């Protein structure tokens, strides 16, 4: 499978997880108790897989893309920075939810703020990446960067 298509599929899955996470945060905001186990499962998946596997692969692709398309460097640097923000905010959210799940006294507002930061950055980064980087007609799959272009294909 084309790496860019694989990333699109992963981002779609991440988006679905973020929707479920948002629903749980909305429960918290409404004064109910969220399913902390589910929240921790989502955060763990997004942090462990995404931040340890998915984002490093993207960061490597961004480096290659920057060499191939120097005009994209500012965008790619920003995306790399946002990966760090997502990682740090995810760590903070996990800490707060783990404390709340263990019946420690944790401010709902702190959890909501941490969750909102995490969700907003995650969604914004994914959407912005698609719009500015990988949907650009000038940018080819990172796997094809450095290869000679083949015959042009008609656009759909």
Express each pLDDT in 3-44 by its tens digit: 778 878 888 899 999 999 999 999 999 999 999 999 999 999
pTM score = 0.77
For residue 59, what pLDDT is reported?
A: 79
51: how many CB neighbours lie within 10 A of its CB?
A: 17
- What residue segments make up the domains of the chain, in order of their start? 3-136
The rounded distance, in Å, linking the Cα atoms of 133 and 127 is: 10
CB 24 within 8 A of CB 38: yes
Q: pLDDT tens across 76-90, in order? A: 888 888 888 988 999
User: At the topology level of CATH, where does 3-136 sit?
Assistant: 1.20.120
């Amino acid at each position: 499978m084309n790496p860019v298509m694989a990333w699109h599929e992963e981002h779609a899955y991440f988006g679905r997880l973020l929707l479920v996470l948002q629903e749980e945060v909305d429960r918290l905001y409404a004064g109910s108790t969220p399913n902390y186990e589910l929240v921790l499962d989502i955060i763990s998946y997004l942090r462990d897989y995404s931040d340890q596997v998915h984002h490093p692969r993207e960061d490597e692709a961004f480096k290659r893309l920057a060499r191939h398309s120097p005009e994209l460097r500012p965008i790619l640097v920003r995306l790399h920075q946002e990966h760090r923000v997502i990682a740090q905010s995810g760590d903070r959210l996990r800490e707060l939810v783990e404390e709340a799940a263990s019946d420690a006294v944790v401010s709902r507002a702190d959890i909501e703020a941490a969750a909102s930061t995490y969700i907003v950055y995650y969604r914004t980064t994914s959407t912005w990446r698609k719009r500015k980087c990988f949907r650009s007609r000038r940018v080819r799959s990172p796997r094809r960067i450095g290869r000679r272009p083949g015959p042009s294909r008609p656009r759909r």
